Amino acid sequence: MTPRHLLAGLAVLALAACSHSAPPPAATAMSQGGIGTGPAASVAPPTGAKPVPTIFVPPPESAIPRGPFGDMVRLGREIFVDTGVAAKAYVGNGLRCSNCHLDAGRLANSAPLWGAYVAYPAYRAKNGHVNTLGERLQGCFKYSMNGKAPPLDAKEMVALETYAFWMAKGAPTGEKLPGAGYPKKGFKPPQPPDFARGEAVFKTHCALCHGADGQGQQVAGRYVFPPLWGPDSFNWGAGMGQLDNAAAFIKANMPLSQGGSLTDQDAWDVAMYMDAHERPQDPRFKGDLAATRKAYHDTPMSLYGTTVNGHLLGSAPAMRK
């Protein structure tokens, strides 16, 4: 058997396995995307072993249909990858959604949109009630984009939800899909994260692209490498400001295209180093740092309102432009 035949054979096996466990609707999904068509699905696990989780494969972009629905999907994609231009009124920093949700929101383990779409409505401890996907998207504008939440019926929101809906075609709702979110379950640092070690990791593995000062790099006024802290980065209320989110994202995705190459300890240390720098104020701040920490950051995963390397984090004068 040539390697090519072998691959084809495995693919057939994977398809057979898939149609076995999944009823016809999944088969429809597989023509454009769906569980069981990804690379992880092509190797059958040895008998008795835990099955290799199959990663959902979203439909290819070439499958975006013509017509008004497809136009809305395309607008959603545009907003996702060029947020500061396509949704300018709601963005207050230099980031794009796709800076943290890689490959235009398609990549597993970088909180892909197909994983998110089927996970809402969901209860969130962050605000103590059940959130729709719309409200979840609003949160990313307010904190990750340091901007303003678009109204739920704004065209920008409709577009993003339509893009996510299209990408999740064939995915089961209400299930945590393998590859959804950032892989932080059970991801713990061997030793408590350390600022000085994190600085060393940063210099060796990150500064080349994100800049020695973490401020990213711009070409003609547009960031080609996004800022990790400072006035143009996510604000103190953002999920990436939590050490577990940051460490998991970094471990799985950074340095870019070399995800998985850092040790767990390095990922936690550099996450701590990144999150121990100043960034725009938490928009829920009412003038009292300790009270804001108590109300919204009362967890060891947040450094806000704590002193690291001799600096009280969150105390910098407003960084809004």
Q: Is 312 in the site for ligand HEC (CB under 6 A)?
A: no
Q: Are 304 and 236 in contact (CB under 8 A)?
A: yes
- The three-state DSSP-derived secondary structure of 4-73 is HHHHHHHHHHHHHHHHHHCCHHHHHHHCCCECCCCHHHCCCCCCCCCCCCCCCECCCHHHCCCCHHHHHH
Q: Is 95 in the site for ligand HEC (CB under 6 A)?
A: yes
- The span of 17-25, 167-175, 223-231, 296-304 binding ligand HEC (CB under 6 A) equals 223-231
Q: Is 193 in the site for ligand HEC (CB under 6 A)?
A: no
- Among 85, 208, 291, 312, the residue binding ligand HEC under the rule CB under 6 A is 208
Q: Which of residues 248-287 bind ligand HEC (CB under 6 A)?
A: 250, 254-256, 262, 270, 274
DSSP codes of every residue in 197-209: HHHHHHHHHTHHH
- Among 30, 55, 100, 157, the residue binding ligand HEC under the rule CB under 6 A is 100
| Two tokens, residue 315 | 């105390």
Q: Is 189 in the site for ligand HEC (CB under 6 A)?
A: no
* Per-residue buried b or exposed e for 227-248, using 16+ beta carbons within 10 Å of the residue's own CB: bbbbbbbbbbbbbbbbbbbbbb
- Among 57, 72, 73, 140, the residue binding ligand HEC under the rule CB under 6 A is 140
Q: Is 75 in the site for ligand HEC (CB under 6 A)?
A: no
Specify the residue, 182 or 285, whose C-beta has the smaller distance to ligand HEC.
Answer: 182
Q: What is the dihedral of CA 253, 228, 92, 102, to 10 degrees?
A: -10
Q: Where along the sequence are the contacts to ligand HEC (CB under 6 A)?
A: 83, 95, 97-102, 111, 115-116, 119, 136-137, 140-141, 144-145, 160, 180-182, 205-206, 208-210, 225-228, 233-234, 238-240, 245, 250, 254-256, 262, 270, 274
